[in-house]
Structure 1
Amino acid sequence: MDSTGATARTPRTRRSPLSGLLMPESPAISRSYDGSTPFSMRGLPPVPGGSMKTPRHSYHPRHAGIASVSMDDLVVDVEENASLLRSKDGPVLTPTERKIKIGLYGVLNTVILVPLMISFAQIIFRDPEFQPYMNDLVKLVLVSAAVHQICFTCVSSLPFAMGQVQDAGLIFLSAMCSSIIQSLHEMRGDDFSMEEVLATTLFTMAVSTAVLGAALIVTGKLRLASFVQYLPMPVVGGYLAFIGFYALEAGLSMMTTQSIKEPADWIKLVDADALMLSVPGVVAGTAIFWVNSRWNHMAVMPCCLAAMLITFYGLLLITGSSLDDARAAGWVAEPPPSPRSITQIYGFYDFSKISFSHLTDQIPTWIAMYFVVAFSSSLDVAAVETALGKPLDHNHELQTVGISNLLSGLGGGFTGSYLFSQTIFTLRGKLDSRYVGLIVFFLEIAVVLSPFSIIAFVPKVFFGALQMLVCLDLITEWLWHARNKLLPREYGIVWLTFLSMVFVNLELGIVVGIVIAGFNFIYSYIATASVHRVMKRSRVERDLRERVLLQNMRMAIVTLELEGFIFFGSSVKVMDEVRRHVLVTNTEKQEAKTSTLSGASPMLPRRHAPSPYVARSLNDSFNDDLTTLDSVFDDHEMHGYSSTPKAGKTGSSALHAARTRYFILDFEKVSGVDATAVRSCFNATKELLAQHGIVLIFASVPTDAERLLRVHDVIEKVDGSGTGSLVFDTLDKALEWCEDELLVSEGILPLSESAPAEEGQRWQLLDELLPRPDGSHRKNEMVLADSSRSRSNEDGDAVLTRELGEMYVTHWLKQEGDTLYRAGGLVNGVYFIGYGKVDVFMPSKIHEGLGPGFRGRKRITRVCQGGLVGASEMILHKRHQFTAQVRAPSSVFFLSKSHYARMQKAHPTLAARFQQAMLQSMAIGVLESNLTDD
Structure 2
Amino acid sequence: MHVCSFSQIIFRDPVFQPYLADLVKLTMVSGAVHQICFSVLSTLPFAVGQVQDAGLIFLSAIATSIVHSLHKADTVFVMEEVLATTLFTLCGSTALLGVALVITGKLRWASFVQYLPMPVVGGYFAFIGFFCLQAGVAMMSGKEVKEITDWAQLTDLKSFYLCAPGIVAGIFMWVVTQRIQHFTILPMCMLTILALFFGSMAVSGTSFQDARAYGWIAPLPNATMNFLDIYKHFQPSHFHAEFMLDQLPSWIAMYFVVAFSSSLDVAAIEMALHKPLDHNAELQTVGWSNVISGLTGGFTGSYIFSSTIFSMKSGVDSRLTGVLVFALELALVMSPFSIISYVPKLFFASLQTLIFVDLFMEWIVHARKSMYVSEYLIVWFTFVVMVLWNLQAGIVLGIVGAAFNFIVSYVESTSIRRVWKQSHVKRQFKERISLLKSRGSIVTLELDGYIFFGSSVNIMAQVRKHVLLTTDELLHQRSTRSLSTSVMATPNFNSHRLHGRTSTRNNAATPANMGLMALDDMNEYLSEYSADAPIPACRTRFLVLDFDRVTGIDVTAVRSGFNMIKQMLVENGISLVFANLPKHIEAMLRLHDVFDDNDMNTNSCDNVPTKAFETLDIALEWCEDGLLAKEVPVSDSASRLLQSGRIMQLLDVLLPKGGGGSVEHVGGDKVDDVTGPLYVQTQSFEKGQLIYTCGGDVDGFYVIGKGLVDVYLPSTEHKKMGPGFTGRKRIMQVTNGGLLGDVDMILNKKHSFTAEARSNCFIFFIPTAAMDAMKQQHPNLAARFDKAIMRSMALHILEVRVADE
- TM-score, normalized by the shorter chain, greater than 0.5: yes
1:580 and 1:630 in contact (8 A); partners too: no
User: For the residues of structure 2 that align with 1:442 and 1:319, how far apart are their CA atoms?
Assistant: 37
Q: Which residue of 1 aligns with 2:374?
A: 489
Q: Which residue of 2 aligns with 1:640?
A: 521
Q: Are 1:179 and 2:65 matched, yes or no?
A: yes
User: For the residues of structure 2 that align with 1:269 and 1:704, how far apart are their CA atoms?
Assistant: 64
Distance 1:428 1:843, change over 3 A: farther
Q: Deviations over 1:149-190 (max 9, x none)?
A: 22323333333322221111110000000001111111158x
| Aligned residue identity for 2:446 | E
Q: Are 1:757 and 2:664 matched, yes or no?
A: no
Q: Deviations over 1:53-97 (max 9, x none)?
A: xxxxxxxxxxxxxxxxxxxxxxxxxxxxxxxxxxxxxxxxxxxxx
| Aligned residue identity for 1:738 | C
How many Å apart are 1:756 and its aligned residue?
8.5
Q: Are 1:867 and 2:764 matched, yes or no?
A: no
1:740 and 1:750 in contact (8 A); partners too: no
Q: Which blocks of at least 5 consecutive residues in structure 2 are unaligned?
A: 501-508, 603-607
Q: Which residue of 1 aligns with 2:571?
A: 691
2:60 partner SS: helix
- Give the alignment of 1:430-441 within 5 angstroms: 430-441=315-326
1:493 and 1:517 in contact (8 A); partners too: yes
Q: Are 1:817 and 2:698 matched, yes or no?
A: no
User: For the residues of structure 1 that align with 2:326 and 2:636, how far apart are their CA atoms?
Assistant: 84
How many Å apart are 1:677 and its aligned residue?
1.4
Q: Which moved more, 1:705-714 or 1:445-454?
A: 445-454
Q: 1:480 aligns with which of 358, 365, 376?
A: 365
Q: Which residue of 2 aligns with 1:498?
A: 383
Q: 2:24 aligns with which of 130, 138, 141?
A: 138
Q: Which blocks of at least 5 consecutive residues in structure 1 are unaligned?
A: 1-114, 615-627, 776-789
User: For the residues of structure 2 that align with 1:592 and 1:288, how far apart are their CA atoms?
Assistant: 75
How many Å apart are 1:747 and its aligned residue?
4.0
Q: Which residue of 1 aligns with 2:33?
A: 147
Q: Which moved more, 1:494-503 or 1:603-612?
A: 603-612
Distance 1:198 1:889, change over 3 A: same
User: For the residues of structure 1 that align with 2:558 and 2:202, how far apart are their CA atoms?
Assistant: 82
User: For the residues of structure 1 that align with 2:569 and 2:517, how far apart are their CA atoms?
Assistant: 21
2:760 partner SS: strand
Q: Which residue of 2 aligns with 1:713?
A: 593
Q: Are 1:123 and 2:4 matched, yes or no?
A: no
User: For the residues of structure 2 that align with 1:323 and 1:516, how far apart are their CA atoms?
Assistant: 51
2:440 and 2:537 in contact (8 A); partners too: yes
Q: Which moved more, 1:339-348 or 1:592-601?
A: 592-601
Q: Which residue of 2 aligns with 1:580?
A: 465
1:830 partner SS: strand
1:751 and 1:835 in contact (8 A); partners too: no
User: For the residues of structure 1 that align with 2:598 and 2:98, how far apart are their CA atoms?
Assistant: 53
User: For the residues of structure 2 that align with 1:800 and 1:827, how far apart are their CA atoms?
Assistant: 24
| Aligned residue identity for 2:569 | L
Q: Which residue of 1 aligns with 2:215?
A: 330
- Give the alignment of 1:794-805 within 5 angstroms: 796=667, 798-801=669-672, 805=676
How many Å apart are 1:502 and its aligned residue?
0.7
Percent identity, please: 50
Q: Which residue of 1 aligns with 2:657?
A: 772
Q: Deviations over 1:704-740 (max 9, x none)?
A: 2211211111114499359962111111111111111
Q: Which residue of 1 aligns with 2:793?
A: 922
Matched residue count: 791
Q: Which residue of 2 aligns with 1:304?
A: 189
Q: Which moved more, 1:857-866 or 1:593-602?
A: 593-602
| Aligned residue identity for 2:557 | A
How many Å apart are 1:514 and its aligned residue?
1.1
| Aligned residue identity for 2:743 | S
Q: Deviations over 1:454-497 (max 9, x none)?
A: 22222111110000000111112112211111111111111111
Q: 2:708 aligns with which of 813, 826, 837?
A: 837
2:703 and 2:764 in contact (8 A); partners too: yes
Distance 1:172 1:818, change over 3 A: same
How many Å apart are 1:635 and its aligned residue?
11
2:599 and 2:610 in contact (8 A); partners too: no
Q: Which residue of 2 aligns with 1:398?
A: 283
How many Å apart are 1:304 and its aligned residue?
0.7
User: For the residues of structure 2 that align with 1:878 and 1:307, how far apart are their CA atoms?
Assistant: 82
How many Å apart are 1:631 and its aligned residue?
12
RMSD of the alignment, in Å?
3.1
Q: Which moved more, 1:134-143 or 1:249-258?
A: 134-143
Q: Which moved more, 1:333-342 or 1:312-321?
A: 333-342
User: For the residues of structure 2 that align with 1:468 and 1:418, how far apart are their CA atoms?
Assistant: 22
1:752 and 1:836 in contact (8 A); partners too: no
Q: 1:704 aligns with which of 584, 593, 608?
A: 584
User: For the residues of structure 2 that align with 1:756 and 1:644, how far apart are their CA atoms?
Assistant: 44
Distance 1:811 1:416, change over 3 A: farther
Q: 1:353 aligns with which of 221, 238, 253?
A: 238
User: For the residues of structure 1 that align with 2:742 and 2:510, how far apart are their CA atoms?
Assistant: 44
1:258 partner SS: coil
2:73 partner SS: helix
1:348 partner SS: coil
User: For the residues of structure 2 that align with 1:706 and 1:756, how far apart are their CA atoms?
Assistant: 43
Q: Which moved more, 1:538-547 or 1:345-354?
A: 345-354
1:333 partner SS: coil
Q: Deviations over 1:783-823 (max 9, x none)?
A: xxxxxxx9728763544455655554444322222333444
- Give the alignment of 1:234-313 within 5 angstroms: 234-313=119-198
1:837 and 1:889 in contact (8 A); partners too: yes
| Aligned residue identity for 1:492 | L
1:146 and 1:164 in contact (8 A); partners too: yes
Q: Which residue of 2 aligns with 1:510?
A: 395
- What is the TM-score with the length of structure 1 in the denominator? 0.79
Q: 1:211 aligns with which of 77, 85, 96?
A: 96
User: For the residues of structure 2 that align with 1:188 and 1:499, how far apart are their CA atoms?
Assistant: 34
| Aligned residue identity for 1:641 | M
How many Å apart are 1:362 and its aligned residue?
0.6
Q: 2:617 aligns with which of 720, 723, 732?
A: 732
| Aligned residue identity for 2:514 | F
Q: Deviations over 1:233-281 (max 9, x none)?
A: 1111111111011101111111122111111211111122221111100
User: For the residues of structure 2 that align with 1:764 and 1:638, how far apart are their CA atoms?
Assistant: 42
1:713 and 1:724 in contact (8 A); partners too: no
1:546 and 1:750 in contact (8 A); partners too: no
1:162 and 1:419 in contact (8 A); partners too: yes
Q: Which residue of 1 aligns with 2:504?
A: none
Q: 1:422 aligns with which of 301, 307, 332?
A: 307
1:244 and 1:474 in contact (8 A); partners too: yes
Q: Deviations over 1:36-66 (max 9, x none)?
A: xxxxxxxxxxxxxxxxxxxxxxxxxxxxxxx
Q: Which residue of 1 aligns with 2:454?
A: 569
Q: Which moved more, 1:720-729 or 1:382-391?
A: 720-729
1:631 and 1:637 in contact (8 A); partners too: no
Distance 1:858 1:410, change over 3 A: farther
User: For the residues of structure 1 that align with 2:276 and 2:598, how far apart are their CA atoms?
Assistant: 49
Q: Which residue of 2 aligns with 1:160?
A: 46
1:834 and 1:892 in contact (8 A); partners too: yes
1:714 and 1:724 in contact (8 A); partners too: no
How many Å apart are 1:741 and its aligned residue?
0.9
User: For the residues of structure 1 that align with 2:220 and 2:188, how far apart are their CA atoms?
Assistant: 26
User: For the residues of structure 1 that align with 2:518 and 2:592, how far apart are their CA atoms?
Assistant: 35
2:627 partner SS: helix
Distance 1:339 1:701, change over 3 A: farther
1:838 and 1:886 in contact (8 A); partners too: yes
1:743 and 1:750 in contact (8 A); partners too: no
User: For the residues of structure 2 that align with 1:808 and 1:546, how far apart are their CA atoms?
Assistant: 26
